[in-house]
Amino acid sequence: MLERNAESDAQLELACFELDDACFAVDVAQVREISHCPPLAPLPHAPGLIEGVADLAGSILPILDLGRVLGLAPVSAPERARLVVLESDGLCFGLRIPPAVEVLSVPLADVEALPALAVQAGYEVVRAVVRRPGASPLLVLSLEALLERVFRSAAGREEAA
């Protein structure tokens, strides 16, 4: 009988969604909840990547649009969009994503680091890539890098003022 390595059985839980023909995911360990996107209140003088704020379960959260943060078109049909509430580095925020969300459990053996060329070129938004036979790779987002883009957008706005 073959001896099973406990590490080979390890799984990563990912909340997955499609945007502009690419498949993205976030680690479920960083997800607080997924809900319909509530109405947003604009936040005057906020960094450009913050769409506004929303009242969600008694908490006021800044809301980002995944498409805009990635430099793509905003998530279409905001009235159908989902909001994934995330926590990273002690900060909570909402990320507006396309309406279809699927939770996948993937073997850690299928999770790879971003290719070296992308890393050396400074692409930090994707922290890992998941191989999927017969499908395009799944891009696991770095929430820290998404937040860094928001911080940089705020710094650029202050310098322009």
Please state the domain count of the chain: 1
CATH number of the domain to which 41 belongs: 2.40.50.180
Residue 7 lies in a domain: no
Q: Note the pLDDT of residue 3.
A: 39
| 136 within domain boundaries | yes
CA–CA distance, 10 with 40 (Å, rounded to integer) = 39
pTM: 0.85
152 part of a folded domain: yes
In tens, the pLDDT along 96-140 reads 999 888 999 999 999 999 888 888 887 889 999 998 888 889 999
pLDDT grade for 45, boundaries at 50, 70 and 90: confident
Residue 27 has pLDDT above 90, yes or no: yes
Radius of gyration of the chain (CA): 17
Which amino acid, 157?
R
Q: How confident is the model at residue 79 (pLDDT cuts 50, 70, 90)?
A: confident
